[in-house]
Structure 1
Amino acid sequence: MVNKQLKLILVSTPIGCLGSGKGGGVELTIISLIKGLILLGHKIILIAPKGSKLPFESELLEIKLIDGIDQPSWQHQNKTDPVIIPSNSVLPKLWEAALDLANQADAVINFAYDWLPLWLTKTQGIKIFHLISMGAESLIMKEIISEISHLFPFQLAFHTKIQSKDYDLKTDPIIVGNGFDKKNYLYNKNENGPLGWAGRIAPEKGLEDAVRVANDLGEKLLVWGLIEDKEYASKTENIFKKEIIEWKGFIPTNKFQEQLGRCRALINTPKWNEAYGNVIVEAMACGVPVIAYDLGGPGELIEDGFNGFLVKPNDIEGMIKATKLVSKIKRKNCRDWFEKKATNKVFAERVENWLNKGLNKNLSAEF
C-alpha cells in the first residue's frame, strides 16, 4: 500500500544555521530526513536560520530562511536553569513562520530541543511532532516533555530506548533511530589506517580519553569536529608533551567520509548520555569499526564483537584493550549493519509511520 503524500513543515534547530556545525548531529539528522522523506514523495517546507544550506535541491522542497540570534544550547546550561530566550532570538521567529504556514500542512516537525515549541503544542490547534534529540539535560525540559507525553503521546519520538528512559512517559516510547544517505558514504576495506575521533570539541564528548588511548598505543589521533570550547581543546591538546592530535576540522560530509573511511577504528568516548551517536553510524557506513563507551545511544548501535566493541564508561584501560583487538571485527559487518538499520530511507520510513500514527489518532477522544 502506498501512503498518501504529506505536506510537512520541518522547523530546524535554532542553535545555528544548517552547515555551520553548531547544531551538532541534529544538522545531519535534518538533512538526511528531508532527503529520505522526499524519496518517499512527501512535500517539505524547511524553516531554518538564515545562512542555512542544503547539499541538494528538489521540486518537493521549499526553504524559508529566518534571521535572528542563535539560541543557547541546553547542554551548556545547568539542569536547574530557567528558560532563556535572547533578545531578537531566532527561535520564536522560526515558530512565528511555522504557525503562519501550519494550515497549509498536514503536520509540523520540530527539531529544537527547546521549551517553546513543546509549550506551543498545548496551545495551538495543529499537530506539532517532536523528535527529541537529547536526554534530560534540564529539569524544565524534562517536565514539559513528560507533560506532552501525557497529553499527546503519539507526537513525541526518540532516537533510542536508552535516551527515552530519561523521561517520565505515559506510553511506550516511539523510537525512530536515525539514518543517512548511503550514497554519501563509500565502503573502505582498508584495515591498517590510523585511529579517529569525531564530534563537537566540548567536555561532554570526552576527547581527552581518546587522546590517552592513542598515546598509550604510540599513535596519532585524527580529530574531526567544530571546536566549540577552545579552552578545552587547548587543554586536551597539551595533556602530553608530544603532539598526538591531528586536527582535521569541521568539513563537509563528502570529505569527512573519505578521510574517516581510511581509519582502522573510530574511538567514541562520551561523558554524557548520548541520545544516538551519528558519528558511530557514519563510521560504520564506511566500514570502520567503532570502540565506544556504553553510555546512551552507542549501546544500541554497537553489537559487541560484530561491528565494534562496547567498553564501560571512563574505562580507558578497557578502551586500549579493545582497540588492540579491532582487527577481529570484519569491516563488511559494519557496512551491512548500516545498510540494514540506518540508511535515510529506513529512517524516513520510520518517521513516516510515526507521523501517520499520530495524524490518525483521535486524541481528543482518548484524553
Structure 2
Amino acid sequence: MKILLVMDPGILVPPKGYGGHERLVYMFAQEYARLGHEVHLLVTTGSEVEGCTVHSFGKEGFPPKKWDARMAIPTAWRFLWKHRNKFDLIHNFGRLAYLLPILNDPIKKIMTYGREISSRNIQLINKLPNRNLVFTGCSKDLISRVDAGGRWEAVYNAIPFHKYTLKAVVAEDAPLMFLGRIEKIKGAHTAISVAKATGHRLILAGNISPLTEERAYFEQEIKPHIDGKQIEYVGALNDEQKNHYLGQAKSLLFPIEWNEPFGMVMTEAMACGTPVIGFGSGSVPEVVKEGVTGIVVKDAVEMIAAVEKVSSINRQKCRVVAEAQFDVPVVAAHYLNLFKY
C-alpha cells in the first residue's frame, strides 16, 4: 500500500525537541515502512525519515509565521489534488482543511486529533460530499465531547516501548515523580502536597511555562517548596533522562485539573514499570488499568492513600499490559485496520 502522512509545517520530523504529533508521525511512518508499505510524508522542509520519501512543506519555525501558516493550506491542496491518484491512504495529523480537495475522492482518509476538536469544523465537512473518511481521537473521552456526526474511532497515542527500560523493583522509599509542564492545570502543587503528606521525596520535572500567569504560579506555588532534598526540580528532560527518572520512581503522580486528551507521560511511566496515580479526569480512566498499571483517584486525599498501596502493583505486569495497548506496532495496526471493518 502507498501511504501519505501529513503534518502541519513548522516542526521537523523527527522533532529535535518538543513535537508531540511530529513524534507520532515519525514513529508511524517508520512502522508503516517496516510493514512493507511505501511511505511518503508531506512535512516541514528539512525533515528526514529513513526509508520514506519526504515532500517539503513550509519552513521550520514554531509557532510558524502568519504568512507561512496561511500558505500551508493552498500548498497542501495543490499537492493532494495533483497526487490524489498516487496514494491508497492519506493519514492527516494536520489541519482538517487540507483534505477539502479530496474529500469525495475514493482514496482512504484518516483525520487524527490529539487535542480539543472543533465540532463546528466537523459539521461543516460532513455537510459536504465525502467518502472513505474516518475521524480518530486519542481517547474516547476526547471524542465524547464532539457533537458533529461522521465516523469516529478512538485510537490511542503510542510510544516506542523498546526505548524504555523496565525497572522491576524499586525501594520502598523510592521517590514519587511529577513530569509535565509546570502549569496549574497539570497539578504540580498537588504532587508536592502529596509528597509532603506521605513523607516521600518528589522528583519534579518539566518545562516552566513562559505565560505570565503560569510563571507567577511557578514562582509563588512551586518554587518556595523546592529544597533539593524532599522536593527536587530537575528541569525539562530528554528521552534518556525520562527513562532514568521514571524508572527509579515509586509512582508517577498525575493530579490533572483539566480533561487531558491522552497524557503520553502516563504510558512512558508504565513502559518503565512505574504505575500511575492519577485524577480521574479526561482520558485517565482509559489509559490507567485500575490496580494493574496504576490507581485512579478523585482528589488529593485519595491520592495520598493510594501512595501507600501502589507498591502492591507488579511493575513487570504494568509494563506488559501497557505495551499490549500503547506500543507503536499495536497502534499502527489499529490505524491500518480502520478500513477493514
Asked whether 1:215 is paired with 2:196, we answer yes
Deviation at 1:293, TM superposition (A): 1.3
**Does 2:248 correspond to 1:262?**
yes
1:31 to 1:221, Cα distance in 2 relative to 1, 3 A:
farther
Q: Which amino acid aligns with 2:155?
A: V
CA deviations on 1:43-101 (whole Å, 9 max, x unpaired) are: 22223234656xxx5324546353165458xxxxxxxxxxxx92222743762574254
Provide structure 1 residue ranges, at least 5 long, that are not aligned to the other structure: 1-5, 73-84, 358-367
- Once the two structures are superposed, residues 191-240 of structure 1 have per-residue CA deviations (whole angstroms, 9 ceiling, x without a partner) of 23321122334444333322332233344432333434354255235426
Question: What residue number does 1:248 align with?
Answer: 235
Opposite residue 31 of structure 1, the aligned amino acid is: Y
- What residue is the counterpart of 1:161 in the other structure? 140
Amino acid at match of 1:208: H
Offset of residue 182 of structure 1: 2.2
Q: C-alpha separation between the residues in 2 aligned to 1:265 and 1:169?
A: 38
1:145 is aligned, of 122, 133, 137, to: 122
- The DSSP-based 3-state class of the residue aligned with 2:221 is coil
Question: Percent same amino acid among aligned pairs?
Answer: 25
- d(CA) in 1 for partners of 2:133, 2:74: 26
Cα deviation digits, residues 329-353 of structure 1 (max 9, x gap): 1112211112221111111110111
Q: 1:27 Cα shift?
A: 3.3
- Written as runs of structure 1 = structure 2, the 5 A alignment for 1:299-314 is 299-312=285-298
1:97-246 equivalent positions in 2, closer than 5 A: 98-99=79-80, 100-112=82-94, 114-117=95-98, 119=100, 122=103, 127-136=108-117, 141-148=118-125, 151-152=130-131, 154-170=133-149, 173-192=152-171, 193-229=174-210, 231=212, 232-233=214-215, 235-236=217-218, 238-239=220-221, 241-243=224-226, 244-246=231-233
Count of residue pairs the alignment pairs up: 328
* Contact 1:194–1:220 (8 Å) recurs in 2: yes
Letter in 1 for 2:317: N
Q: How does 1:327-338 map to 2 (within 5 A)?
A: 327-338=311-322
Aligned to 2:270: 284
* Residue 344 of structure 1, aligned match among 311, 328, 333: 328
Report the secondary structure of 1:88's partner residue: helix
Distance 2:131 2:104 in 1: 12
- Provide the secondary structure at the position in 1 that maps to 2:303: helix
Q: Which residue of 2 aligns with 1:81?
A: none
Aligned to 1:298: 284
Contact 2:184 2:217 in 1 (8 A): no
Selected match of 1:87 from 63, 67, 73 = 67
Contact 1:283 1:290 survives alignment (8 Å):
yes
Question: Normalising to structure 1: TM-score of the pair?
Answer: 0.77
The amino acid that maps onto 1:331 is R
Partner SS for 2:36: coil
Letter in 2 for 1:200: R
State the 1:127 CA deviation: 4.5
Aligned mates of 2:196, 2:300 — CA distance in 1: 11
Distance 1:325 1:44, change over 3 A: same
Secondary structure of the 1:327 match is helix
In the alignment, the residues of structure 2 paired with residue 189 and residue 255 of structure 1 have an alpha-carbon distance, to the nearest angstrom, of 18
- Give the number of the structure with larger relative contact order, counting CA–CA contacts within 8 Å between residues 6 or more apart: 1
The answer as to whether partners of 1:47 and 1:97 remain within 8 angstroms in 2 is: no
Residue identity in the other structure for 1:132: Y
* Distance (whole Å) between structure 2 residues aligned to residue 226 and residue 96 of structure 1: 36
Contact 1:17 1:51 in 2 (8 A): yes
CA–CA distance in 2 between the matches of 1:65 and 1:289?
40
Correspondence for 1:273: 259
Instruction: Provide the residue aligned with 1:79 in structure 2.
Output: none
| Residue of structure 2 equivalent to 1:11 | 6
Equivalent residue, structure 2, for 1:66: 58
Deviation at 1:167, TM superposition (A): 0.9
- Cα deviation for residue 130 of structure 1 reads 0.6
Give the letter for the 1:268 counterpart: F
Unmatched runs of 5 consecutive residues or more in structure 2: none
Letter in 2 for 1:106: D
Query: What's the CA shift for 1:111?
Result: 1.1
Residues 156/242 of structure 1: CA separation in 2 closer, same or farther (3 Å cut): closer
Matches of 2:184 and 2:281, distance apart in 1:
15
TM-score (norm 2): 0.83
8 Å contact 1:220–1:246 — kept in the other structure? no
Cα distance, 1:188 vs structure 2: 0.8
Q: Secondary structure at the match of 2:197?
A: helix
Q: Is the 8 A contact 2:175 2:249 kept in 1?
A: yes
Alignment partners' CA distance in 1, 2:185 and 2:103: 32
